[in-house]
């Protein structure tokens, strides 16, 4: 086991992909000589050459269009979108081409493209640099959508995504890039949890708290604080947003009888709505209270000095736990 930051774990995972498969190529803005804005690809161009790690123009639609052509020719492109809000420029390529090609060609053409996107707030950055656009892609058939929360998952899941024959939107919570954790770099992918499986991070018996990405660490802190108050909170890291592991969520809710879902994206039609609705459909007779969602507000991302009021924090998640336990008025079961 080695202690790594999430960013370094991604770097080592991508290095292993490049070393193991000559069809893997990396494309993105400043990912080569500079090593990327967050230095995730640092040193990879020097090791594998500019024909495997390509610096591209500032043109996200062109980057994705190039990736489509490369995938058509048998390559496995790994695209980096420099910041979450920049992916909107490439939205047409992703939704109209990447997601649909397999169905359009009756299964004869696969596009094994991995689209890496630093995501979320909490870094003091401006709009277009702090977005949470995951719901757009979860709503798009033909895409797999994942978001990692730990260095171990960063190392393992990025390799699983690149090896997958389906296109994968791979979100990386940028405020956790430099969080450290133990990573088993010698583990075989075959022995790792499947890319689509959720993970119980903290076991509990009173409330199920489902989240992903940058909020997993906050949820763990909330579970610790709740335990001091005599409440046992089970924290589930979804890991995969599409397809989501609804079986794991349902199994937990059937034991606890209560569900809180937390994410940074807006409340309206967010990922949490789908998790809560599906859990209600599957576990209605087990629920002791209506599910509660703790989310970002339904506004454009605010200026940096206001983001602490927008991104769900420890207090807001604990308020959601109190609501589902009936300790405070439910007020529509939305902890915004």
Distance CA 229, CA 278 (A): 29
- Supply angle C-alpha 259, 301, 87, rounded to 5: 95
Lowest mean pLDDT: which of 38-47, 121-130, 171-180? 121-130
- pLDDT, residue 33, reads 95
User: How much is the average pLDDT of 245-255?
Assistant: 98
CATH number, domain 199-325, options 3.40.640.10, 3.20.20.70, 3.40.50.920, 3.40.50.880: 3.40.50.920
* Alpha carbons within 13 A on the beta-carbon side of 17: 30
Looking at the predicted structure, is the pLDDT value of residue 334 above 60?
no
Looking at the predicted structure, is the pLDDT value of residue 237 above 90?
yes
Give 200's contacts (C-beta < 8 A, 6+ positions apart).
234, 235, 236, 248, 252
- pLDDT, residue 127, reads 86
User: How much is the average pLDDT of 232-250?
Assistant: 98
266-302 residue pLDDT tens:
999 999 999 999 999 999 999 999 999 999 999 999 9
- pLDDT, residue 27, reads 98
* pTM for the model: 0.95
User: Which residue is catalytic, options 129, 139, 246, 310?
Assistant: 129
Adjacent-strand bridge partners of 235: 202, 209
| CB atoms near residue 58 (< 10 Å) | 11
Average pLDDT, whole number, for the chain? 96
Band of pLDDT at residue 46, cut at 50, 70 and 90? very high
- pLDDT, residue 336, reads 54
311-327 residue pLDDT tens:
999 999 999 999 999 99
- pLDDT, residue 126, reads 82
296-313 residue pLDDT tens:
999 999 999 999 999 999
- pLDDT, residue 151, reads 98
Per CATH, the homologous superfamily of domain 2-191 is Thiamin diphosphate (ThDP)-binding fold, Pyr/PP domains (3.40.50.970)
Looking at the predicted structure, is the pLDDT value of residue 36 above 70?
yes
Give 242's contacts (C-beta < 8 A, 6+ positions apart).
137, 138, 143, 144, 145
Confirm whether 129 is a catalytic residue: yes
2-191 and 199-325 share one fold: yes
Q: Which residue has the tokens 């090791």?
A: 47
Residue ranges of domains in the chain: 2-191, 199-325
């Amino acid at each position: 086991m080695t202690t790594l930051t999430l960013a370094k774990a991604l770097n080592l995972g991508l290095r292993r992909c490049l070393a193991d498969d000559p069809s893997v190529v990396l494309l993105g803005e400043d990912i080569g000589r500079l090593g990327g804005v967050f230095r995730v690809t640092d040193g990879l161009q020097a090791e594998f050459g500019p024909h495997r790690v390509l610096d591209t123009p500032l043109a996200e639609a062109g980057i994705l269009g190039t990736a489509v052509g490369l995938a058509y020719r048998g390559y496995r492109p790994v695209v980096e979108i420099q910041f979450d809000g920049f992916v909107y420029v490439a939205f047409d390529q992703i939704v109209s081409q990447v997601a649909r090609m397999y169905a359009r060609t009756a299964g004869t053409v696969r596009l094994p493209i991995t689209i890496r996107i630093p995501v979320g707030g909490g870094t003091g950055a401006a709009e277009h640099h702090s977005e949470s656009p995951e719901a757009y892609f979860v709503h798009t058939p033909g895409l797999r959508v994942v978001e990692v929360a730990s260095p171990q998952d960063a190392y393992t899941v990025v390799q699983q995504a690149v090896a997958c024959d389906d296109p994968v939107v791979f979100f990386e919570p940028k405020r956790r890039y430099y969080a450290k954790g133990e990573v088993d770099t010698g583990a075989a992918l075959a022995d790792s949890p499947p890319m689509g499986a959720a993970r119980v991070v903290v076991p509990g018996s009173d409330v199920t708290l489902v989240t992903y990405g940058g909020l997993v660490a906050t949820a763990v802190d909330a579970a610790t604080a709740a335990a001091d108050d005599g409440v046992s909170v089970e924290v589930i890291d979804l890991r995969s947003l599409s397809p989501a592991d609804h079986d794991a969520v349902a199994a937990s809710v059937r034991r606890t009888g209560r569900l809180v879902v937390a994410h940074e994206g807006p409340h309206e039609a967010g990922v949490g709505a789908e998790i809560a609705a599906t859990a209600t459909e599957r576990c209605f007779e087990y629920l002791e209270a209506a599910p509660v969602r703790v989310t970002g507000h339904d506004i454009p991302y605010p200026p940096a000095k206001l983001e602490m009021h927008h991104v769900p924090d420890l207090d807001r998640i604990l308020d959601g736990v109190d609501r589902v336990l009936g300790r405070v008025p439910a007020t529509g079961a939305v902890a915004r």
